[in-house]
Chain A
Amino acid sequence: MTDNIVEDALGRVLAYLRLSGVSVDTDTTRAALRLVDDTLEAGEEGLLERLMAAVPERFGLDQPAPPMLAPPVHHGSIHYPRRP
């Protein structure tokens, strides 16, 4: 059972890193394994919560600012002709 939880936890960490734009190479995988190992030391209870909360800080995931959705508004008016 523990094996499945750990395997699932490691898989989640690696997927999270990949989706965050981190290249999942050997070093990253080792770091992820160490994180899982460190987190397991406090027991299996609440493993996923503690693990996923630690991921951004441990791997320095800084999210870039999103592109500008729209430029600054320069209000103009639409003129309406007399109602036909």
Chain B
Amino acid sequence: MAVLRRATLILLVLAQTLAGLYGMQSVLPYHGGNLLEKGILFLFAVLFAWISVGFWTALLGFWLRRRGGDPWSLVRRYDAATVAATPLARTAVVMPIYNEPVDRTLAGLRATIQSLRDTGELEHFDFYLLSDSRDAQQWLEERTGWYRLCQEQGLQGRLFYRHRPVNLNFKSGNVADFLRRWGKDYEYMVVLDADSVMGGATLTRMVRHMELAPKVGILQTSPSLINAHSAFARFQQFANRVYGPLFTAGLAGIQLGEAAYWGHNAIIRCKPFMEHCGLQHLSGFGLFRGPIMSHDFVEAAYMGRAGYEVWMEPELDESYEESPPTLVDELTRDRRWAKGNLQHAWLFLFAPKLRFAHRMAFLNGILSYLSSPIWLAFLILTSIEATRLTLWPIDYFPEQQNSMFPAWPEWHPHWAVGLILSTFFLLFLPKFLAIADVLLSGRRRQHGGAWRLFASVCLELLVSMLLAPIRMLTHSRYVLGALFNLSLHWGGQNRTDETGWREAFVSHAPGTLLAAGWAGLALWLDPFFFFWSLPVALPLILAAPTSVVLSRVALGEALRRRRLLLTPEEQRLSPQVDAIADPRPLNPGALSAFDAAVVDPDLNHLHRALARRRRCLEPEAREEWLQRCIQHGPEGLNRRQLNALARDGEALARLHRAAWVAPPDSYWGTRIGLVKRRDYG
């Protein structure tokens, strides 16, 4: 079935691309008769094929959903009674974290734990927080949160916290570190992201499917976006909930047992993962040398190569994650993803014995970002074409044409309009099919009713048209930066703040200036070309205000009050979503994590007991930092010094004693003053 579906998809995409190419050739004045136009045709073919793949994937998804689901999917392999009767196996739920908001992160884990408890199957699961955070204030807060969560949930000895001293190889290195230490203890591990939440029923169902199908190595869910507040996040959330099901159903239908792994909200069979999915550094040059940054697709490909199946199952619900709150945050994340995905080109070309579907998954990921510079190059070449036709004399006898007859340039604006409309059809029909899918499956109320759903889709279309050129230009910059192997900072994701005007203007200034210059040139050349340039130029000119306005929580909430962009979880909060909507703080807010570790007797005892046995400091330096901290608090210490003291049990004990006898007007005295208030903690 997989071969039939993929062959049909390839044929349809090829046929559609050839038809589009013929249309484009007809539109071009010299019909592809010179080098410039050949370049335009080549770039157009790649872009048209790319959107054609998306179009047919969505159509397949629509068809499968209208049939009531894919009969070839993994979850349809066994009936509900068989699944429910299958015993569970020991499973570790692991959550790698790196500088994440602690209360929100642990609220997600708490919701997952509580949901598992509700199933009555909690005893089959252990939980691991795997921290790569490097800042003492951060990891102390994480450890305090872990401690409080253990107490709150009664999970001592079942909920663990691992702080890796050296964070090699990013997130995949963190998970590998877990597997080396405890992987043999578990049949499966469920990998969660810091913003993930999963339902207990889904988790137990996934374990049972893995038990029933021993050749399945990875089972991936399709997470729904939740907990969006800013306008930007609510647009992403709405798109994910309305269009997402079509695309994921189509994608799952094409990939079947050779799907991709998305790095989180998935269950993995530990033994084969350890045996076959170790990630060697790449041995190429530049970008293609060193650690693999986007590990998930590669791990899926290696699992497939080892003879195991990888499934993505859209029917596994109660799987959630969050959207970046702002465009700036999304683009910051894309910087990492662009570089990581482009690295896959090396594996696409040279990794031996990978399955064809997994090579195609690499190509898909590469094109997700490479399509941006291709689009940019297409715009540049078409601009050159327009400039040439306007400013330069017509070349009746181009070099490439060995003919005695002149080559007459022909310009058919109505054909161009037809081509543009057919492109829009490919881009937008899936969105209207998604509306039809919502209406036909009786989910209209979940999105505020038919009219509000339609209005929301129109709004989303407008915003996606505004965002597309901004993403295109930024991704182009990232791709070029990655290809020239510029350095990359791998940081946690901002999940809270709005974008400021200054930040937005600075960030988008190059694109705005470029677009203004391009539109000005187009206007000077030809009014028709100017209007043709506007759909790209105008969003770039408006990039800064778009970014700022969409980052506003007030706008997101205003749209919600008008019942626009509604999603099911916003109307009927599930227990998991409810738990993270307003996370209960686990750390006392009045003090920083370090101050609390010094002052609070309970926490001081905790951090002292968990401190390193060996002290790896020079005694003089340690004494100097300690005295400085006693006198002036942690502000006078740098990150390394603060980390050293926070890891030193004896230093924490001395700080604790000194803080409680400090004069009231000293640094520690004021902290004692804060905890003397009865509302502290």
Residues of chain A having any CB pair with chain B under 8 Å: 8, 11-12, 14-16, 18-21, 48-49, 52-53, 61, 63, 65-71, 73-84
Contacts and interface: CB of A to CB of B under 8 A. Distances in A.
A71 B185 contact: yes
A66 B179 contact: no
Contacts of A82: 280, 352
The winner among B162, B180, B282, B601 for most chain A CB atoms within 10 A is: B601
B160 A84 contact: no
Contacts of B276: 79, 81
B274 interface: yes
Interface string B282-314: 110000000000000000001001000000000
Nearest to A8: B664
Interface string B137-169: 000000000010011000011011110000000
A71 B274 CA distance: 19
Interface of B: 126, 128, 147, 150-151, 156-157, 159-162, 176, 179-185, 274-283, 302, 305, 346-347, 350-352, 600-602, 605-606, 609-610, 657, 660-661, 664, 672, 675-676, 678, 680-681
The winner among A52, A65, A84 for most chain B CB atoms within 10 A is: A84
A76 B676 contact: no
Contact of A66 (B180, B277, B606): B606
A84 B676 CA distance: 61
17 contacts: A8-B664, A11-B676, A12-B660, A16-B660, A20-B601, A61-B601, A67-B147, A69-B162, A70-B161, A73-B181, A76-B180, A78-B274, A79-B274, A81-B276, A81-B305, A84-B346, A84-B347
The winner among A53, A67, A73 for most chain B CB atoms within 10 A is: A67
Contacts of B351: 84
Contacts of A16: 601, 660
Nearest to A64: B605
Contacts of A71: 126, 157, 160, 182, 185
A49 B662 CA distance: 9
B280 A84 contact: yes
Contacts of A14: 676
B660 A52 contact: yes
B675 A76 contact: no
A70 B606 CA distance: 14
A48 B182 CA distance: 47
A74 B302 contact: no
A67 B601 CA distance: 16
A80 B161 contact: no
A3 B276 CA distance: 72
Nearest to B660: A52
B403 to A, nearest CB: 49
Given A79-B276, A84-B351, A49 B600 contact: no
A77 B676 CA distance: 50
A78 B283 contact: no
A67 B675 contact: no
Contacts of B681: 18-19
Contacts of B278: 78-81
B660 to A, nearest CB: 5
A48 B181 contact: no
Nearest to B185: A74
B148 to A, nearest CB: 10
Contacts of A12: 660, 672, 676
Contacts of B680: 15, 19
Contact of B162 (A67, A70, A83): A70
